[in-house]
């Protein structure tokens, strides 16, 4: 039996944030990503829909993981890929983001994948170039492909997103992942609860679509379908935002006992890289409830889908 055909085309020129996408946009990306994930698992090579296109990875912040993920995704679809860890090169010579973008733009790439330490950096760049821009993480603003891969991982494991109770715990204030993932899950009907020490829990999270924001992790875990832990930057732990690492782990670390408060089939997620023993016990990170490596796998699939939609013509 075939699913009823519906047509929704992706009308966005760039992918700069989850904010601004509709639930249909997100479903379209996830469906396509699902196909790519299955193809990879089956050992099938996807159609080279990006053949003849050039994807430039422009990373003003170091990130081997995300840059590799985009690079692999682009190559699988047949694109020519140039990866530039700019953190080490022209920026040191005083060249600005806009200068770098204009220079690259003159080389006529089809997609610029940008990571920048300043919130809104990719947005600024998108105003200055003619090609599609994908935000691969900007400051403490958004990381849309992470939000999408988290949502896809949840959908694959739970068969749905709507109605699920998702708890996201960690440094919410400084997390672009928390913003993108909360927005994406909310758009697909999940109930997202944010949990952090008060000093790392900003006001107004209801505008991201969060159902609640709390400092009581145990209470938040009650009946959760998904538990997502965020990385806590070590420098924020020693007195500036909270008293100590051990105090943080005591109240917000994910242990086996704590996980027992969630539903028996709750899955555990982490965008990586992890601080084992600080936000999450090693045994949990590697346990059978953890889908952390699947998140990495879905990262490639989601990026294939996004690049396809932005530069690969009709689906």
Site residues, another protein (CB under 8 A): 96-98, 116, 118-121, 123-124, 138-142, 173, 176, 179, 202-205, 207-208
C-beta of 205 vs 290, nearer to another protein: 205
* Shortest Å, Cβ 27 to another protein: 24
* Shortest Å, Cβ 179 to another protein: 7
Which residues touch 264 (CB under 8 Å, ≥6 apart)?
none
* Shortest Å, Cβ 19 to another protein: 8
Compute φ and ψ for 168, nearest 5 degrees.
-115, 125
C-beta of 178 vs 292, nearer to another protein: 178
C-beta of 84 vs 118, nearer to another protein: 118
* Shortest Å, Cβ 269 to another protein: 21
* Shortest Å, Cβ 119 to another protein: 4
* Shortest Å, Cβ 190 to another protein: 19
- In terms of DSSP bridges, do strands 132-138 and 80-85 run parallel, antiparallel, or are they unpaired? unpaired
Q: How many residues are present in the chain?
A: 315
Q: At what angle do helices 144-158 and 176-187 cross, to 10 degrees?
A: 50
Q: According to DSSP H, which parts of 42-143 are helical? A: 64-76, 97-106, 121-128
d(CA 308, CA 29): 9
C-beta of 76 vs 186, nearer to another protein: 186
**Inter-residue contact 230 to 171 (CB < 8 Å):** yes
- In terms of DSSP bridges, do strands 111-116 and 132-138 run parallel, antiparallel, or are they unpaired? parallel
C-beta of 140 vs 315, nearer to another protein: 140
C-beta of 110 vs 142, nearer to another protein: 142
Peptide bond between residue 273 and the one before it cis (omega within 30 degrees of 0)? yes
């Amino acid at each position: 039996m075939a699913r009823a055909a519906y047509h929704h085309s992706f009308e966005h020129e760039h992918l700069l944030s989850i904010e601004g996408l509709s639930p249909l946009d997100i479903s379209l990306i996830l469906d396509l990503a699902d196909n790519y994930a299955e193809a990879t698992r089956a050992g099938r090579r996807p159609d080279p829909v990006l053949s003849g296109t050039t994807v430039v990875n422009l990373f003003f912040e170091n990130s081997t993981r995300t840059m590799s993920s985009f690079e692999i995704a682009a190559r699988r679809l047949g694109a020519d890929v140039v990866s530039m860890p700019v953190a080490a090169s022209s920026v040191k010579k005083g060249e600005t983001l806009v200068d770098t973008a204009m220079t690259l733009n003159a080389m006529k790439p089809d997609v610029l994948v940008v990571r920048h330490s300043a919130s809104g950096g990719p947005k600024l760049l998108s105003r200055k170039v003619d090609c599609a821009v994908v935000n691969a993480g900007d400051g403490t603003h958004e990381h849309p492909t992470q939000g999408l891969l988290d949502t896809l991982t949840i959908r694959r494991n739970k068969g749905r997103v709507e109605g699920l109770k998702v708890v996201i715990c960690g440094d919410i204030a400084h997390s672009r992942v928390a913003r993108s993932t909360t927005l994406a899950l909310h758009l697909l009907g999940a109930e997202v609860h944010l949990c952090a020490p008060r000093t790392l829990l900003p006001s107004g999270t209801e505008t991201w679509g969060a159902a609640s924001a709390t400092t009581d992790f145990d209470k938040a875990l009650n009946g959760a379908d998904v538990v997502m832990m965020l990385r806590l930057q070590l420098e924020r732990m020693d007195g500036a935002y909270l008293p100590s690492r051990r105090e943080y782990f005591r109240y917000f670390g994910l242990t086996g006992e704590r996980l027992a408060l969630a539903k028996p089939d709750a899955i555990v997620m982490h965008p990586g890289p992890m601080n084992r023993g600080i936000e999450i016990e090693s045994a949990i990170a590697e346990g059978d409830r953890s889908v952390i490596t699947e998140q990495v796998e879905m990262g490639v699939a989601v990026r294939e889908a996004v690049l396809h939609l932005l530069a690969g013509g009709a689906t």
